[in-house]
Amino acid sequence: MSELTLDRLLELEHAGWASLCESRGGTFYGRLMTPDGLMVLVNGMTMDRSTVAASLDGSPAWDSYEIADPRHVDLGDGAGALVYRAEAVRGGEDPFVALMSSTYRVVAGEPRLALYQQTTVTH
C-alpha cells in the first residue's frame, strides 16, 4: 500500500493552501513539485515548476479556503492522487469554487506534486 494516504495528501494540500493564504506559494510549490511537474489552471494556463516558483510568491493572498469531499486514488507504490472540492475567498471577490486533483509521487523518500489540475464548478 502507498504511503500517500488520504491523511498525508490532505496534510500536503492544507500546507499548500496555507502558503497561498500567506503569499508564499511560489516557495512552497517550488520545493514540493517534481522537476517536470505541471499545474493546469482553470483559466487554461499550464505552469511548470519554474513558472510556479517565480510567480506565486507575493501574489494576492487568499483570505480563507475550505476543502470538502476529499477522495484518495491509490495509483500504486509511491503514487497517489487527491481529488476534492475547494472554495476559496479573497478580497471582495466572488468565491472561487472548483474541483481539484493533485497527483503525487514519492521521490527520494518524499512526496512530490507531479500534476495539479483545477476544474470550475458550474452553478
* 32-52 residue pLDDT tens: 999 999 999 999 999 999 999
Encode 6-33: b = buried (16+ Cβ within 10 Å), e = exposed.
eebbeebbeebbebbbeebbbebbbebb
* 107-121 residue pLDDT tens: 999 999 999 999 998
* 74-101 residue pLDDT tens: 999 999 999 999 999 999 899 999 999 9
Confidence of residue 2 (pLDDT cuts 50, 70, 90): low
Mean pLDDT of 64-77: 96
- Count of residues in the chain: 123
pTM, whole model, 2 decimals?
0.92
